[in-house]
């Protein structure tokens, strides 16, 4: 059986899932190719669940050298789905930065607090209510309110654990 090209919409969906980056969090290289998690020779089909975006180097380590095994690749794929469904773009970026920096405290501007809501709800980040910049509004009729302009978050122990598992590609579910 001849191997067909991967249809463009499917290819796009797999690349979008990984943010057009290598799906291995500690790599995230921007040059991508598609890899079959279970070899095409066995399945003889291209499906979303069996395709993952990898950089050429990780693709070789997986397919040719066997340095990354199939079970690990399935977990990377599963984590992508979980991260995409549960967390937004900013949260995923923060995970990535924290995984690389080992920092436990970070500050974001007003508005970003809303975008970090799910990670806070899941107990990964905690708002330390550190007094920082604020906007004090006051009107003639007595309305007075102070709005924080910056938010300081602390990575909880659960958050540290999550980031660690995220970085090494452990199962996040």
Rule CB under 5 A: which residues touch Zn ion?
Answer: 22, 24, 27, 29, 55, 58
Spatial neighbors of 172 by CB under 8 A, at least 6 apart, are: 78, 79, 82, 83, 162, 165, 166
Report the residue number, 29 or 165, with the smaller CB distance to Zn ion: 29
> What SS3 string covers the chain?
CCCCCCCHHHHHHHHHHCCCCCCCCCCCCCCCEEEECCCHHHHCCCCHHHEEEECHHHHHHHHCCCCCCHHHHHHHHHHHHHHHHHCCHHHHHHHHHHHHHCCCEEEEECCHHHHCHHHHHCCCEEECCCCCCEEEEECCCCCEEEEECEEEEEECHHHHHHHHHHHHCCCCC
Report the residue number, 29 or 74, with the smaller CB distance to Zn ion: 29
For residue 19, give both structure tokens.
Answer: 């943010």
Report the residue number, 17 or 116, with the smaller CB distance to Zn ion: 17
Shortest distance, CB of residue 22 to Zn ion, whole angstroms? 3
Shortest distance, CB of residue 72 to Zn ion, whole angstroms? 13
Report the residue number, 22 or 155, with the smaller CB distance to Zn ion: 22
Shortest distance, CB of residue 168 to Zn ion, whole angstroms? 14
Shortest distance, CB of residue 17 to Zn ion, whole angstroms? 15
For residue 126, give both structure tokens.
Answer: 């905690």
Report the residue number, 4 or 170, with the smaller CB distance to Zn ion: 170
Shortest distance, CB of residue 30 to Zn ion, whole angstroms? 10
């Amino acid at each position: 059986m001849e191997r067909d090209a991967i249809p463009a919409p499917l290819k796009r969906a797999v690349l979008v899932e990984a943010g057009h980056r290598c799906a291995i969090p500690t790599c995230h290289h921007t040059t991508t190719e598609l890899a079959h998690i279970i070899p095409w020779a066995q399945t003889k089909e291209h499906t979303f669940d069996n395709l993952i975006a990898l950089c050429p180097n990780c693709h070789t380590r997986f397919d040719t050298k066997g340095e990354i095994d199939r079970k690990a690749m399935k977990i990377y794929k599963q984590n992508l789905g979980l991260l995409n469904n549960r967390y937004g773009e900013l949260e995923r970026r923060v995970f990535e930065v924290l995984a690389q920096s080992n920092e436990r405290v970070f500050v974001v501007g007003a508005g970003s607090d809303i975008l970090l809501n799910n990670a806070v709800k899941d107990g990964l980040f905690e708002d330390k209510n550190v007094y920082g910049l604020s906007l004090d509004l006051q009107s003639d009729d007595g309305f007075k309110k102070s709005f924080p302009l910056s938010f300081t978050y602390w990575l909880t122990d659960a958050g540290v654990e999550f980031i660690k598992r995220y970085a090494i590609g452990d199962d996040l579910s």
